[in-house]
Structure 1
Amino acid sequence: MTGLVVCVVVLAVATTFGLLRAWHDGRMRVGSKDGTVRLSEAELGGPLGSRATLVQFSTVFCQPCRATRRVLAEVAGMVEGVEHVEVDTEARLELARRLEIRRTPTVLVLDADGRVVRRAAGQPRKADVIAALGQAV
């Protein structure tokens, strides 16, 4: 009987964790706690947008990174003055650690000055990216 109880508890905990992770995955949140994290073109290896920049941290084998790349490229193409820069997390490990990138894809939304205003761990929805750009511009 105790084996059955343990099984049910483990199943309940795993289900709760999965639901919470799915709810949190890809949600845009405040970029940096104090608003002072700023990135340059040299650090990113790509140009900053005149209005905003979408920075995607990816790895080669990350499946959700491909879908995220398409969403961000599409949004950057729709909004004038917005650039999309993709950073290989493995090649830029020091930068990823400094920015506390813990999983891929992670998306940072920068304002025109390169300040991180929003971030999302996991694949963001297109509508959430557009809304985050509204806060960055």
Structure 2
Amino acid sequence: MPDPKNRRERGLQVYQRMGWGNNAGVKELDEDLWNFTTDVLFGEIWSRPGLSLRERELVTLGVLMAAKADGIALHMRNAHNLGITFDEIKEVILQCTIYLGMPKALFAMRKLKAVMAEQQGSHAAGKSGGG
């Protein structure tokens, strides 16, 4: 079990690995929520041994698909930042479809296509010198 004294540091390390910086958007929204998210969710849960960040992100994608949670797009980006390919994310969606049903699969696939288009757009802008 991770040492509770170091959970803030571990939470910040998870943010960095996921490409979130210090997750300032949540801190600006509400500092108490940021403290809880940083210390407990990422400093304790996501930092536990037993599953890699990659594996935790794949599980999270399935759960967010089940909940039809808008946060799934953010976690699709996180997954990609962790080296999970869009094809692998698609496979998670297909794997979950039989258990969750078509409405949730369509929801998740639309989110994935939007994230993929966003990534394509940012790569194209970077190649053309745009910002």
Pick the TM interval, shorter chain: under 0.3
By relative contact order (CA 8 Å, sep 6+), the higher-ranking structure is 1
**Please, what TM-score do these two structures have when normalized by structure 1?**
0.23
Larger radius of gyration: 1
The answer to which structure has the higher strand fraction is 1
**Please, what TM-score do these two structures have when normalized by structure 2?**
0.24
